[in-house]
C-alpha cells in the first residue's frame, strides 16, 4: 500500500513547478479566439461540489468584480418544497461541511426544506460481537443525513443570489479543452479555451474540474488517475420502519459481502446503502418487496456469521479491556426493524475508488470526485469534496486580494499539497477497511475484532476519527 500511496501522490519534492507544463497535443489559438468571452473562473460540472464551488466564489467579497461561469450538462434543479417521498440518493453531511454551506447562506435553505441530524453512529461486525460507537460528549449533532436534491436546491438558490457574478450554463456540456502554452510564451492566448457542445466558446484564467469520477477535465489534462473498480455495487432504497422512533442513530454493519448502512431520514423512514457483490445486488433489486425487507432485517439482526472461536476470543479481549478501562465496553444495540420499502426507490450503482496523481496544473484544478473517489462505507465522499472547496477557496481569495493571476501554479500547488496530505491517508484507510472487512478468514476477523474493540475503548483514537 505504501508503494501505491507514493505513486498516488506523484509529486517530486524539488522543483515543484517544473514538469507541470503539459506535454500533450495542443493547438495555439489565433486571435480569432480572442472574441470568445473571457471568465476569471469556469467550474465544469454542476453537481453538489461544482455548484458549491461556484457559489462560494460568487459570495466571496474579493471576487466581487470577477466573472465566474458554471457549466452543467443537466437541467436546473430547484424545489420550493420537497415531494412527500424521499429521494434514494442521500449524503451524510459532516458538521464541517455544514459550516461551509452556511458560510454562503445555503444551509438555511437546507434546514427549511428537510434534513435529519443524527447523534450516534454504531458500527459493528457481522462475524463477531465487536462494535464501535461514535457520539459526541455534549450530545451535539454528529452529522446530518440530507437528500442530494435538497442540497442542490439550496445551492441553486444561492447561485441565483449572485447571478450578476456567476453565470450558470444549464444543458451545456464541454466537449473540448485547449490548453495554453507555458506562461512565458507571449504569442498565443494565455487562457484555457473551452468548447461547448452547441459550438459556443469560452476562455478562462482558471478551470476548475468538478465533473465527477469520469472527469473529462482530468482526462484532457492528461492527469494520471489511479483507479480500481470494486467488485461491489451499492443498492439504495428508501425504507419505512416498523414503528416510529427517535431515529437519531446511523447504523452500519460489516457483512462479509460488504457493509450495510441504515441512515435516518425521519422518525419513520431511513435510507438504505447496501454495498454488496454485483450478483447479490441484482438479486436484491429483482426480489419482491417482502423478501427485500426480510433480507435487510436479517442482515442487521442475524448472527449466522459468528463462530464460537471468534466469539470466545472476542469475549476474552472484552473482559481484559473492562479490567483496564471499566467504561470502555458498551452494549450493542439493535437497529430498528424495517417494515416496508418505497416501491420506486430501489436502485443500484457500481462502486470504485480513484485518486488523481495531481490535483492541479497550470490554470487547472480538480475538486470532488474528479480528484478522488471513495467507497461509501465511511460516508465521506461529498465531505471530502466540500473540504476541497474550503481549501481552494481559501487560496483563491488570498490570490485575488494579492492581485495575482488566478491560474498561477504557485497557489494552486499549495491547495494540492494541503488536500493530498489530508485525503490520501483517509482514502487509503477507507480502501484498507473495505478489504479488511471483506473476508471471513479467522485471523483477519480476529484482527479487526480486537482492533475495533480497542478503538472503541480508547478515547484518544476515537476522537481523532
Partner 1 sequence: QLSLFRLTMKRLRSTSHSSVDSKEMKKFQLLAHKWWDEEGEYSALHSMNDIRVPFIRDTLLNMSSNYHLGNPLSGVKILDVGCGGGLLSEPLGRLGASVTGIDPLEDNIRTADRHKSFDPVLAKRIQYKSSSLEEIVEECMETFDVIVASEVVEHVADLEMFIKCCSQVLKPEGSLFITTINKTQLSYVLGIVVAEKILGIVPEGTHEWEKFVPPKELEHLLESNGFSVKTVNGMLYNPLSGSWSWMESTSINYAMHAVKSGAVGQPSPTGALSEMESEQPSATAGTTM
327 binds partner 1 (CB under 8 A): no
- In the bound state with partner 1, the residue whose beta carbon lies nearer, of 244 and 398, is 398
Give kind and range of the element (H or E) at residue 97.
helix 95-103
Which residue's entry shows cell 430547484? 78
- In the bound state with partner 1, the residue whose beta carbon lies nearer, of 135 and 418, is 418
* C-alpha separations of 297 from 31, 92, 258 in Å: 66, 22, 15
- In the bound state with partner 1, the residue whose beta carbon lies nearer, of 2 and 31, is 31
- In the bound state with partner 1, the residue whose beta carbon lies nearer, of 180 and 335, is 180
Which one of residues 2, 25, 31, 75 is an interface residue with partner 1 (CB under 8 A)?
31
Please identify, among the stretches 188-196, 304-312, 336-344, 345-353, the one whose residues bind partner 1 according to the rule CB under 8 A: 188-196
308 binds partner 1 (CB under 8 A): no
Of the candidates 198, 199, 177, 179, which has an alpha carbon nearest to the alpha carbon of residue 189? 179
Please identify, among the stretches 81-89, 144-152, 181-189, 454-462, the one whose residues bind partner 1 according to the rule CB under 8 A: 181-189
Shortest CB 33 distance to partner 1, Å: 10
Which residue's entry shows cell 479481549? 317
Shortest CB 145 distance to partner 1, Å: 37
17 binds partner 1 (CB under 8 A): yes
Among residue numbers 68 through 127, which ones bind partner 1 (CB under 8 A)? none
Q: 452 is written with which cell numbers?
A: 475495533
Please identify, among the stretches 43-51, 180-188, 300-308, 379-387, the one whose residues bind partner 1 according to the rule CB under 8 A: 180-188
63 binds partner 1 (CB under 8 A): yes
183 binds partner 1 (CB under 8 A): yes
Contact string (CB under 8 A) for partner 1, positions 373-412, x = contact: ---------------------------xxxxxx--xxx--
* C-alpha separations of 218 from 50, 69, 221 in Å: 14, 18, 5
39 binds partner 1 (CB under 8 A): no
61 binds partner 1 (CB under 8 A): yes
186 binds partner 1 (CB under 8 A): yes
Which one of residues 65, 84, 138, 164 is an interface residue with partner 1 (CB under 8 A)?
65
Encode 172-199: b = buried (16+ Cβ within 10 Å), e = exposed.
bbbeebbbbbeeeeeebbbbbbbebeee
Beta carbons within 10 angstroms of residue 369's beta carbon: 23
19 binds partner 1 (CB under 8 A): no
Shortest CB 41 distance to partner 1, Å: 14
Shortest CB 62 distance to partner 1, Å: 6
Please report how many Cα atoms fall inside a 13 Å half-sphere around the Cα of residue 202, on the Cβ side.
Answer: 27
Rounded (to 5) percent helix, strand, coil in the chain = 40, 25, 35
Which one of residues 190, 264, 385, 387 is an interface residue with partner 1 (CB under 8 A)?
190
Which one of residues 4, 27, 34, 316 is an interface residue with partner 1 (CB under 8 A)?
34
Would you state the torsion angle of the CA atoms of residues 302, 307, 309, 311, taken in this order, to the nearest 10 degrees? 0
Q: Strand, coil or helix: what is 198? A: coil
Beta carbons within 10 angstroms of residue 362's beta carbon: 21
- In the bound state with partner 1, the residue whose beta carbon lies nearer, of 245 and 417, is 417
Please identify, among the stretches 76-84, 176-184, 302-310, 415-423, the one whose residues bind partner 1 according to the rule CB under 8 A: 176-184
Which one of residues 97, 172, 178, 189 is an interface residue with partner 1 (CB under 8 A)?
189
Shortest CB 11 distance to partner 1, Å: 16
Contact string (CB under 8 A) for partner 1, positions 125-164, x = contact: ----------------------------------------
The span from the CA of 228 to the CA of 371, in Å, is: 14
* C-alpha separations of 159 from 48, 67, 335 in Å: 12, 13, 39
Exposed, middle or buried: residue 226 (CB in 10 Å: 0-12, 13-18, 19+)?
middle
The span from the CA of 20 to the CA of 362, in Å, is: 7
30 binds partner 1 (CB under 8 A): no
Shortest CB 156 distance to partner 1, Å: 24
Beta carbons within 10 angstroms of residue 211's beta carbon: 28
Do residues 425 and 408 make contact, with C-beta atoms less than 8 angstroms apart? no
38 binds partner 1 (CB under 8 A): yes
* C-alpha separations of 415 from 57, 246, 396, 398, 408 in Å: 15, 41, 9, 12, 12
Task: By CB under 8 A, name the binding residues for partner 1.
Answer: 17-18, 31, 34, 38, 61-65, 182-184, 186, 189-191, 400-405, 408-410
Amino acid at each position: 500500500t505504501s508503494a501505491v500511496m507514493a505513486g498516488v501522490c506523484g509529486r517530486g519534492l524539488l522543483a515543484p513547478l517544473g514538469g507541470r507544463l503539459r506535454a500533450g497535443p495542443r493547438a495555439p489559438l489565433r486571435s480569432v479566439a480572442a472574441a470568445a468571452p473571457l471568465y476569471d473562473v469556469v467550474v465544469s460540472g454542476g453537481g453538489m461540489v461544482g455548484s458549491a464551488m461556484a457559489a462560494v466564489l460568487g459570495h466571496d467579497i474579493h471576487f466581487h468584480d470577477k466573472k465566474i461561469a458554471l457549466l452543467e450538462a443537466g437541467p436546473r434543479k430547484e424545489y420550493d418544497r420537497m415531494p412527500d417521498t424521499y429521494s434514494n440518493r442521500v449524503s451524510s453531511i459532516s458538521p464541517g461541511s455544514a459550516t461551509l454551506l452556511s458560510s454562503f447562506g445555503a444551509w438555511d435553505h437546507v434546514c427549511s426544506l428537510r434534513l435529519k441530524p443524527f447523534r450516534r453512529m454504531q458500527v459493528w461486525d457481522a462475524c463477531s460481537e465487536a462494535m464501535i460507537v461514535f457520539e459526541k460528549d455534549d450530545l451535539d449533532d454528529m452529522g446530518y443525513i440530507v437528500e442530494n436534491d435538497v442540497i442542490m436546491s439550496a445551492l441553486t438558490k444561492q447561485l441565483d443570489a449572485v447571478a450578476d457574478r456567476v453565470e450558470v450554463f444549464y444543458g451545456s456540456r464541454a466537449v473540448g479543452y485547449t490548453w495554453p502554452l507555458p506562461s512565458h510564451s507571449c504569442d498565443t492566448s494565455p487562457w484555457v479555451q473551452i468548447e461547448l457542445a452547441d459550438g459556443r466558446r469560452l476562455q478562462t484564467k482558471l478551470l476548475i474540474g468538478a465533473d465527477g469520477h469520469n472527469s473529462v477535465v482530468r482526462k484532457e489534462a492528461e492527469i494520471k488517475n489511479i483507479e480500481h473498480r470494486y467488485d461491489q455495487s451499492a443498492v439504495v432504497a428508501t425504507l419505512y420502519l416498523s414503528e416510529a422512533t427517535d431515529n437519531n442513530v446511523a447504523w452500519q454493519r460489516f457483512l462479509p459481502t460488504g457493509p450495510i448502512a441504515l441512515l435516518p431520514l425521519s422518525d419513520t423512514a431511513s435510507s438504505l446503502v447496501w454495498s454488496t457483490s454485483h450478483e447479490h445486488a441484482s438479486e436484491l433489486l429483482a426480489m419482491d418487496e417482502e423478501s427485500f425487507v426480510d433480507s435487510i432485517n436479517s442482515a442487521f439482526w442475524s448472527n449466522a456469521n459468528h463462530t464460537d472461536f471468534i466469539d470466545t476470543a472476542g469475549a476474552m479481549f472484552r473482559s481484559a479491556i473492562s479490567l483496564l478501562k471499566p467504561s470502555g465496553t458498551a452494549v450493542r444495540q439493535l437497529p430498528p426493524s424495517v417494515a416496508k420499502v418505497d416501491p420506486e426507490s430501489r436502485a443500484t450503482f457500481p462502486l470504485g475508488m480513484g485518486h488523481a496523481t495531481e490535483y492541479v496544473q497550470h490554470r487547472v484544478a480538480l475538486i470532488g470526485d474528479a480528484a478522488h473517489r471513495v467507497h461509501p462505507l465511511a460516508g465521506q465522499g461529498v465531505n471530502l469534496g466540500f473540504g476541497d472547496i474550503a481549501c481552494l477557496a481559501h487560496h483563491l481569495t488570498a490570490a485575488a486580494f494579492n492581485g495575482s493571476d488566478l491560474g498561477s501554479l504557485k497557489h494552486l500547488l499549495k491547495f494540492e499539497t494541503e488536500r493530498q496530505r489530508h485525503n490520501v491517508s483517509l482514502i487509503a484507510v477507507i480502501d484498507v477497511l473495505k478489504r479488511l472487512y471483506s473476508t471471513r478468514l479467522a485471523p483477519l476477523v480476529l484482527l479487526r475484532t480486537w482492533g475495533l474493540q480497542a478503538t472503541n475503548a480508547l478515547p484518544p483514537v476515537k476522537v481523532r476519527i
